[in-house]
């Protein structure tokens, strides 16, 4: 087997295939480490820890504490991040260099459905797994390219806190970075086309976060249309329509966080007859492309852009390429976490999806501003929401916007894995006072409704 790309999806695929007895070559043009470690999950979560602590220190008085003049030093924050990332990357590079694989550090492109050009060599294999990830997509906003902008890669390298920044977009990457810069002292403006931030999810999950952003001093514009960008000697100005009027925002830096696209340009997929649709490689639930011995996993198939899903897809493809029985990707427990404050976490179906797919459901929510533990903690933004089947009370979706959402969601993942119902949830013991016990309130409401 040849695995193209040694990031999260590719490494998982290679490891699984090798453990099942396949002879595996991994081709990666480098830098080795993958997006999650080098420029994605890990660097962003490391720096967010600094801005979260700073934001808490700023609230010292509320907790009867004194902490005069706390401030952020972006170069020290990034030094800490770089130290950790170097460690994570070295470990991954060690794994890729394990002699159980053949690692080839070259660009890969197909010559035919069975041949891959790798530098000066041609590799052939029984199966190929494409795991080349994603790259930042370009958006045709007039004047944007000419004015200059940074992407999530660039802002992770800044050494000085920018005076001001406009963030274009309001997906997970955009909102996490917007809150980071806002909290370390950058005047931050977020401009989003959809009517609310994090627009893939339900609107009620976005509202508490938008409120918190505004309370922290961020300007948030939703429901906009970008018109053009102009550059002056020191600043950049973004013009957009908002509530029927033309408006503008000016800042030193623009962070273009409008989205990513599958990384397929160099693969010469047409030589392998692999079909693409709107720039992404189409796969079925077995992770197979239209060419049965070629699979595509992780960001390159454009389905989720989430690491644990990339890993699961890699393992499924490796299993299906080496074993007789077939494994399929099950999206019932699809999960997402956005590491803002308050964080946002979801598993299973949203109300939006239920409505779109005509799936009947009952829903109930409970607010953190009426819950003992969150009041003790002073973390009262947000709520939890449960969706269950009106027939038998099986939980089909769980959502949290509020403290520790990324940790708390796993209680619901476990329950849903075993097809737990709201009746099961109210029977489970919950320690008092904990954040987790908040779930029992919407569950009780749903039991009554049922
Ligand atoms: C700022 C940011 C924050 C994020 N935070 C989170 C988070 O908190 N949680 C989460 O779940 N997800 C997060 N993500 C998304 C996550 O990082 C990705 O979904 C995941 O890393 C994708 O893994 P992959 O294996 O598909 O691709 P990658 O890790 O990008 O691996 C692709 C590999 O393919 C190689 N390659 C590419 N083209 C070729 C070629 N032609 N020949 C040879 N090699 C090639 C590359 O060198 C690379 O090593 C974040 C993303 C960003 C940008």
Task: Dump the DSSP string for 62-88.
Answer: GGT----S----HHHHHHHHHHHHHHH
Residue 307, ligand 1, Cβ within 6 A: yes
Shortest-distance Cα residue to atom 7 of ligand 1: 41
- Model pTM? 0.97
Which ranges of the chain have pLDDT less than 50?
Answer: none
Residue 355 pLDDT: 98
State the burial class of residue 232 (Cβ atoms within 10 Å of its Cβ: 0-12, 13-18, 19+): exposed
Centre of ligand 1 to C-alpha 11, Å, is 11
* 3-state secondary structure (DSSP) of residue 194: coil
Q: Which of helix, strand or coil describes residue 349?
A: coil
Q: Counting Cβ atoms within 10 Å, is residue 243 exposed (0-12), middle (13-18) or buried (19+)? A: exposed
Ligand 1 mean position, distance from CA 277 (Å):
20
User: Given this model, what pLDDT does residue 361 score?
Assistant: 98
- Give the contacts of 432 (CB within 8 A, at least 6 positions apart): 372
* Nearest residue by C-alpha to atom 47 in ligand 1: 30
Supply the DSSP string of 201-261, one letter for each residue. S-HHHHHHHHHHHHHTT-EEE-SEEEEEEEE-SS-EEEEEEETTEEEEEEESEEEE-S-EE
CA distance 401 to 385: 9
* CA 127 to ligand 1 center in whole angstroms: 22
**pLDDT tens-place string over residues 187-215:** 999 999 999 999 999 999 999 999 999 99
Output phi, psi for 150, to 5 deg.
Answer: -105, 160
Q: What is the distance between the alpha carbons of residues 334 and 346, in angstroms, rounded to a whole number? A: 8
Q: Which atom of ligand 1 is nearest to the CA of 30?
A: 47
28 touches ligand 1 (CB under 6 Å)? yes
Q: What is the pLDDT of residue 185?
A: 98
Is the CB of residue 166 below 6 angstroms from any atom belonging to ligand 1?
no
Q: Phi/psi class of residue 213: alpha, beta or left (left: φ > 0; alpha: ψ in -120 to 50)?
A: alpha
Give the pLDDT confidence score for residue 206 in this predicted structure.
Answer: 98
CB atoms under 10 Å from CB of 395, counted, come to: 24
């Amino acid at each position: 087997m040849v695995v193209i790309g040694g990031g999260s999806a590719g490494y998982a695929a290679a490891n699984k295939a090798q453990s099942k007895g396949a002879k595996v070559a991994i081709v990666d043009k480098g830098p080795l480490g993958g997006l999650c470690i080098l420029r994605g999950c890990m660097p962003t979560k490391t720096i967010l820890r600094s801005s979260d602590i700073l934001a808490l220190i700023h609230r010292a008085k509320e907790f009867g504490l004194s902490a005069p003049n706390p401030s952020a030093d972006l170069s020290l924050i990034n030094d800490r991040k770089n130290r950790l990332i170097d460690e994570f990357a070295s470990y991954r590079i060690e794994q890729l260099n394990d002699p159980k694989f053949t690692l080839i550090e070259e660009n890969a492109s197909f010559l035919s459905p069975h041949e891959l050009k790798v530098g000066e060599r041609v590799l052939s294999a029984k199966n190929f797994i494409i795991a080349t990830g994603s790259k930042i997509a370009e958006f045709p906003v007039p004047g944007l390219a000419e004015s200059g902008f940074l992407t999530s890669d660039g802002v992770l390298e800044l050494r000085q806190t920018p005076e001001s920044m406009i963030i274009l977009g309001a997906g997970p990457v955009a909102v996490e970075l917007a809150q980071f810069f806002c909290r370390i002292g950058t005047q931050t403006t977020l401009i989003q086309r959809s009517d609310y931030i994090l627009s893939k999810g339900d609107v009620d999950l976005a509202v508490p976060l938008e409120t918190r952003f505004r309370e922290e001093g961020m300007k948030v514009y939703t429901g906009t249309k970008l018109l053009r960008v102009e550059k002056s000697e020191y600043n950049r100005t973004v013009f957009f329509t908002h509530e029927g009027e033309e408006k503008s925002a000016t800042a030193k830096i623009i962070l273009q966080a409008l989205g990513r696209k599958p990384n397929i340009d160099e693969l010469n997929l047409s030589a392998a007859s692999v079909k693409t649709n709107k720039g992404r490689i189409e796969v079925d639930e077995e992770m197979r492309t239209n060419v049965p011995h070629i699979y595509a996993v992780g960001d390159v198939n454009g389905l989720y852009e989430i690491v644990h899903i990339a890993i699961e897809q890699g393992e499924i493809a490796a299993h299906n390429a080496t074993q007789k029985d077939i494994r399929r990707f099950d999206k019932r427990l699809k999960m997402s976490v956005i590491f803002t404050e308050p964080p946002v976490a979801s598993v299973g179906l949203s109300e939006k999806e239920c409505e779109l797919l005509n799936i009947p459901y009952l829903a109930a929510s409970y607010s953190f501003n009426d819950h003992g533990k969150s009041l003790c903690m002073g973390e009262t933004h947000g709520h939890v929401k449960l969706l269950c089947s009106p027939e038998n009370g099986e939980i089909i979706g769980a959502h949290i916007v509020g403290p520790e959402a990324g940790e708390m969601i796993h209680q619901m993942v476990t329950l849903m894995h075993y097809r737990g119902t709201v009746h099961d949830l109210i029977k489970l013991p919950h320690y008092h006072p904990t954040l987790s016990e908040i779930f029992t309130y919407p569950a009780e409401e749903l039991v009554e409704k049922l």
